[in-house]
A and B are shown apart, each in its own frame.
Chain A
Amino acid sequence: MYLLKLILRNALRHKLRTLLTVLGLLVAILSFGLLQTVVDAWYTGANSAAPDRLVTRSAVSLVVPLPVHYRDKIRAIDGVRSVASANWFAGVYQEPKNFFPQFAIDPATYLAMYPEYRIHPDQLRDFMRDRKGAVVGRKLADTYGFKLGDVVPLRGTIFAGNWEFVVRAIYEGATPKTDTSQFFFHWEYLNETVRTRAPQRANQVGVFVVQVSDVSRAAEISATIDAQFRNSPAETLTETEKAFQIGFIKQTEAIVIAIRIVSFVVIFIILAVMANTMAMTARERVGEHATLKALGFGPGFLGGLIYGESLTIAFAGAGLGVLLTFPVADWFGAKMGTLFPVFEVSTETVWLQFTCALVVGVAAAVVPAWRAARVRIVEGLRAVG
């Protein structure tokens, strides 16, 4: 108790210096938390992928479509429970900056494969009945103010022309990490329209989502699917949903690595600031440390004082930084709109923030504590007066 009191009072001895150091730590820990959350957001798709879902796409490129009739052949493979198709639509809502993912799907099978998208049965029924109907995620609806019955016009880019959809359902996420920024509509509607505008592009899909009945056979089933279409005009590449998502991330991996590096550079900078603060503190107290040693206190006690003070300051800054991370992440996530489908501060990030504070607190105290432990009493006492 006495030691804690002494540590706390020492930490508050130079209030302005301590306040500025805590402020620096707050900013560093907050920045670190936000940057880590950005990295987490990047991996949301991969992390929320289900192990029993595979994605089959063209072996040539993702932009090369596959014939829709592959669906029946894939469904017939042993171990396949269900097959759904999806087309990337890439329409523009009002202006290009309003980006959100849009997919033309075969609704009955596709939505059944994604139980994490929670849709009210009445709304699902309305969607299924309306060939121009659309299902939008809660985050997307909130971002653009979409309500049931609203008509959403999209300007086609891959599929030229102006398209209109009616919001018939709004899905909620099963967990806070579920992506609710997507827009789904009927593949049939897309296909019928394409057939009239560009018949050669009809009856094609972007990818097939394949649900397997036994996760342990995923690799084997993937190989079987690809073997089925080997030497055909449209060869396939099948992989787990997670691998498929990671493939996307890899295209921007340099950015993710840069963000990670910057987040740790921020921590290193605050470590230097903190180490300087503790070095100044220890230098100013050489006389006190010598007095304590003269009274019989050992290096352990002096080390305890210095480590304690350093950790107190580090955790004060970290505590405030972590507390602020949540509202700032909420604000940042809202500002980013649907660019980051999920922008949630994870428990792992909070632990990392506190771990960084621990490392900073300990590392900043190492040299001052070592010097205090080695101070010669006679020389230290000369510093007093």
Chain B
Amino acid sequence: MSQSAPAVAIRHLTKTYRRGGQVVPVLEDISFDIAAGDFVALMGPSGSGKSTLLNLIAGIDRPDSGELRVADVDIMQLDEAGLADWRARNVGFIFQFYNLMPVLTAMENVELPLLLTGLAARDRRERVEVALGMVGLSDRMTHYPSELSGGQQQRVAIARAIITDPTILVADEPTGDLDRASADDILALMDRLNGELGKTIIMVTHDPHAAQRARRTRHLEKGLLTD
């Protein structure tokens, strides 16, 4: 990525869904940039298209038209295998319901993305220990998700998201399933990742309290960017 290029550059992005015989517009002519190291909250009512926009930026869905460059890569040009490989190297996912593998320990869950890097088992383990240490779960490494609280599970998910040192972190309602105290902890952690490690974070949220943690907030309504 060049020094001046934004982490995410979006131009005239549109996305529609087909429901029955009807074409339903979800995103219409969206254009904006997200600078490297920024922490952006995407807000809007249900059905506004914010999660769809996040999915497009993360490369797990494809737009109908427009331009979408992430980390200076035109991801619309990548085929499925290329896109999967790109995601593995450039995107860290934080989901609302954590999406951890229930049969794997915290350590093994965090290690999962590293399987795609070709790192030796010993190096993987070292990295996992560092990542779990960063999210404050060094003492829970051998615990299974069912043995952890919601907040702890989300910390494991964050450790998994940062383990490959991705270009962007995408978080879809990361505090949506947590109580206030746990949510504050997670937001503080994301704040640290952004402030101290310079991670570019794009977060979808309904929660104004969560959005306050972001450096910038963009609003969507009926598929249009309103500010």
Contact = CB atoms under 8 A, between A and B. Distances in A.
Interface of A: 1-2, 5-6, 9-10, 13, 287-288, 291-298, 377-378, 381, 384-385
A5 B115 CA distance: 13
Contact of B116 (A288, A294, A297): A297
B85 interface: yes
B66 interface: no
Contacts of A385: 96-97, 177
Interface of B: 55, 58, 60-61, 81, 84-85, 87-89, 93, 95-97, 99, 101-104, 108, 111-113, 115-116, 121, 160, 177
Contact of B84 (A1, A13, A287, A298): A298
Nearest to B160: A295
A295 B103 contact: no
Contacts of B103: 6, 9-10, 13
B60 A378 contact: yes
Contacts, number: 63
Q: Is the interface of B mostly helix, strand, loop or mixed?
A: helix
B108 A381 contact: no
Given A293-B60, A377-B55, 17 more contacts: A2-B121, A5-B108, A10-B103, A291-B99, A293-B84, A294-B87, A294-B93, A295-B93, A296-B85, A296-B88, A296-B116, A297-B84, A297-B115, A377-B60, A378-B61, A381-B95, A385-B177
Q: Is the interface of A mostly helix, strand, loop or mixed?
A: helix
Contacts of A292: 112
B199 to A, nearest CB: 17
Given A6-B101, A378-B60, A384-B97, A295 B121 contact: no
A5 B105 CA distance: 11
Contact of B121 (A1, A288, A291, A378): A1
A298 B95 contact: no
A13 B112 CA distance: 18
12 contacts: A2-B111, A6-B103, A288-B99, A291-B95, A294-B60, A295-B93, A296-B87, A297-B116, A298-B81, A378-B60, A381-B60, A385-B96
A13 B101 CA distance: 11
A295 B97 contact: no
B115 to A, nearest CB: 6
Nearest to B157: A291
Nearest to B177: A385
